[in-house]
């Protein structure tokens, strides 16, 4: 009886795999025939279609193609006008006057009005994901084409927050039927499967090079090489160095940086990690170069605080060497904190299983920590579990993950460590840090600001808020049928710049 069930199970498995193979064949054939479409694999599903409520970096990088703010980042890392045509900033940096671009349309064909801009900024501020927007005191709309944003106090760096998506006030269902002004407009979305967008022909700027784009959710990162070679996907922006070496010459590999802060993030509210000696000991137990050699073949760039090298204005390379690898010193620090071989420090690293590089990093760290007598357990969880348990509920001890910057400003990386920040998922609480950060936010003078932000970085490093590792190298594999991939200093995939390769 059991035997028959087993036989039936094997049979159904074979049938299922044959069917799957047949279906993959169909999909591959379709993309191959129709060169006006491209299928791009993304490592996780979209968490929200509502631009003001999305939190995952993986969502923002995709919807960058659908939504635009008054201004938007370009590939050099500067802010360029988007929905706004130009901007005038007052002397004290407390008043920003925008002129809305002439003739700019939403995807539904209606024109962008000042009231839509006001509605969007207020709605975005209300969502609270970008805390900096709470500095907006008032938004004036003297007519349909002019908008003035007035701040509580001057902030020379505020413009980068106005990349917040402009959406039409008339759209009652922004989470189901997203409408923006970007080069691509939304077509459909199947949860856990894909997001389909198509070129917006009335786009104000240079029209996109490829008409139809499918973002396919590829939760199993291990199948990427197969799918790329098989033709069911044309591009993947997170190819690991191991995968890169296996791809045939059908693919062009673009090399850049992922622009994120990969670290062992420590829940500072979790008992042992509330002691700075324990956190410092972990920093000393880590051999950063060793991790980088294992995980990214040594091609990443070392970081020592919550800032990555692309932000050259704020990045402080001297913090990388703050903690030399020193097992003995780490052991004596741990002993001071009350952990020795009879009562060793032990904790669990929760890691999202869809990111092989984070899972591998966790394994290498566990091995290195073991040298100092620290016992590490690894718990690999599915991405949605990670988001809800670790990021939202903060119910974890430590996690390996990469944190990106959503805007082109130091605040994007540093604001989350303020004790009052809503996205302070490591529960970091340091009055000195709050003071330095608040001082940066309140000063108009750019050099003072920069100094304060650097102070924040120094505090994070010296306080060993987290065990900082690296900015991972980024390899983008693009089928040679297409060309034109460009890296941004932000976590962004600008699909509009891609175009079919010359025949």
Nearest one of 287, 288, 289, 317 to 305, comparing CA atoms? 317
**What kind and span of H or E run contains 264?**
strand 260-266
> Smallest distance, Å, CB 287 to other proteins?
9
> Smallest distance, Å, CB 297 to other proteins?
8
Question: How far is it between the farthest Cα atoms of the chain?
Answer: 83
Judge residue 464's burial from the number of C-beta atoms within 10 Å of its C-beta, 0-12 exposed, 13-18 middle, 19 or more buried: buried
**Binding window for other proteins (CB under 8 A); candidates: 173-181, 362-370, 395-403, 433-441:** 362-370
Output 88 or 388, the one with its CB closest to other proteins: 388
Output 3 or 191, the one with its CB closest to other proteins: 3
How far is the C-alpha of 446 from the C-alpha of 154, rounded, in Å? 11
Contact 112, 181 (CB under 8 A): yes
Task: Sketch the per residue contact string, 205 through 224, with other proteins: x for CB under 8 A, - otherwise.
Answer: ----------------xxx-
Contact 102, 85 (CB under 8 A): yes
Structure tokens at 177: 């039927």
Please, what sign has the CA dihedral across residues 452, 458, 462, 463? Answer: positive
For other proteins, how many residues bind (rule: CB under 8 A)?
A: 35
Structure tokens at 184: 């691509």
Output 175 or 242, the one with its CB closest to other proteins: 242
**Binding window for other proteins (CB under 8 A); candidates: 40-48, 118-126, 167-175, 352-360:** 352-360
How far is the C-alpha of 498 from the C-alpha of 199, rounded, in Å? 12
Interacting positions 155-184 with other proteins (CB under 8 A): none
> Smallest distance, Å, CB 49 to other proteins?
26
| 294 is a contact residue toward other proteins (CB under 8 A) | yes
- 3-state secondary structure at position 368: helix
> Smallest distance, Å, CB 95 to other proteins?
52
User: CA 434 → CA 153, 188, 416, 428, distances in Å?
Assistant: 18, 43, 11, 10
Interacting positions 373-402 with other proteins (CB under 8 A): 377-382, 385
**Binding window for other proteins (CB under 8 A); candidates: 197-205, 289-297, 420-428, 481-489:** 289-297
Count of Cβ atoms closer than 10 Å to residue 365 Cβ: 28
Exposure string of 384-407, with b = 16+ CB inside 10 Å and e = fewer, is eebbebbbeeeebbbbbbbbbbbb
> Smallest distance, Å, CB 294 to other proteins?
6
Output 241 or 305, the one with its CB closest to other proteins: 241
Task: Sketch the per residue contact string, 18 through 57, with other proteins: x for CB under 8 A, - otherwise.
Answer: ----------------------------------------
End-to-end CA distance of the chain: 60
Output 45 or 157, the one with its CB closest to other proteins: 45
Output 145 or 232, the one with its CB closest to other proteins: 232
- 3-state secondary structure at position 333: helix
Count of Cβ atoms closer than 10 Å to residue 150 Cβ: 14
> Smallest distance, Å, CB 249 to other proteins?
14
Contact 213, 40 (CB under 8 A): yes
Output 40 or 376, the one with its CB closest to other proteins: 376
Contact 214, 194 (CB under 8 A): yes
> Smallest distance, Å, CB 377 to other proteins?
7
> Smallest distance, Å, CB 83 to other proteins?
42
Output 116 or 227, the one with its CB closest to other proteins: 227
Output 293 or 427, the one with its CB closest to other proteins: 293
| 293 is a contact residue toward other proteins (CB under 8 A) | yes
Binding interface with other proteins (CB under 8 A): 1-3, 5-6, 9, 221-223, 225-226, 240, 242-243, 245-246, 290, 293-294, 353, 356, 359-360, 362-364, 366-367, 377-382, 385
């Amino acid at each position: 009886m059991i035997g028959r069930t087993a036989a039936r199970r094997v049979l159904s498995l074979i049938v299922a795999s044959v069917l799957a193979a047949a279906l993959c064949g169909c999909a591959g054939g379709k993309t191959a025939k129709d060169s006006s479409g491209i299928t791009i694999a993304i490592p996780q599903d979209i968490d929200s279609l509502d631009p003001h409520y999305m939190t995952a970096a993986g969502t923002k990088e995709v919807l960058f193609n659908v939504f635009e703010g008054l201004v938007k980042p370009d590939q050099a890392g500067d802010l360029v006008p988007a929905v706004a045509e130009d901007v005038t900033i007052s002397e004290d940096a407390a008043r920003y006057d925008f002129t809305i671009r002439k003739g700019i349309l939403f995807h539904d064909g209606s024109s962008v009005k000042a009231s839509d801009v006001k509605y969007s900024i207020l709605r975005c501020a209300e969502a609270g994901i970008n805390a900096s927007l709470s500095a907006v005191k008032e938004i004036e709309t003297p007519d349909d084409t002019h908008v003035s944003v007035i701040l509580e106090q001057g902030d020379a760096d505020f413009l980068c927050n106005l990349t917040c998506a402009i959406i039409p006030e008339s759209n009652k269902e922004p989470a189901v039927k997203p409408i923006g002004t970007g080069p691509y407009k939304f077509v459909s979305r199947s949860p856990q499967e894909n997001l389909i967008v198509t070129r917006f022909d009335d786009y104000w700027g240079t029209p996109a090079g490829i008409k139809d784009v499918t973002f396919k959710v590829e939760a199993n990162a291990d199948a990427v090489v197969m799918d790329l070679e098989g033709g069911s996907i044309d591009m993947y922006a997170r190819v690991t160095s191991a995968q890169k070496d296996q791809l045939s010459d059908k693919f062009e590999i673009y090399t850049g940086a992922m622009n994120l802060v990969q670290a062992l993030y420590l829940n500072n509210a979790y008992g042992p990690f509330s002691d700075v000696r324990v956190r410092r000991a972990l920093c000393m137990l880590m051999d950063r170069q060793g991790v980088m050699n294992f995980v990214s073949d040594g091609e990443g760039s070392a970081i020592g605080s919550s800032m990555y090298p692309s932000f050259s204005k704020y990045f402080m390379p001297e913090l990388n060497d703050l903690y030399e690898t020193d097992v003995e010193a780490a052991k004596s620090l741990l002993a001071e904190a009350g952990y020795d071989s009879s009562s060793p420090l032990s904790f669990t690293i929760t890691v999202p299983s869809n990111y092989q590089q984070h899972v591998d990093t966790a394994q290498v760290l566990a091995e290195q920590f073991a040298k100092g007598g620290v016992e590490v357990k690894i718990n690999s969880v599915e991405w949605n579990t990670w988001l809800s348990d670790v990021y939202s509920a903060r119910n974890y001890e430590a996690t390996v993950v990469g944190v990106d910057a959503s805007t082109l400003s130091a605040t994007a990386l540093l604001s989350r460590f303020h004790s009052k920040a809503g996205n302070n998922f490591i529960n970091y609480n340091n009055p000195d840090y709050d003071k330095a950060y608040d001082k940066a936010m309140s000063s108009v003078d750019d050099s003072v600001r920069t100094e304060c932000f650097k102070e924040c970085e120094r505090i994070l490093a010296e306080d060993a808020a987290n065990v900082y590792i690296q900015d991972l190298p980024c390899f983008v594999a693009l089928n040679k049928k297409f060309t034109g991939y460009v890296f941004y200093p932000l976590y962004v995939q600008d699909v509009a710049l891609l175009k079919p390769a010359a025949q």
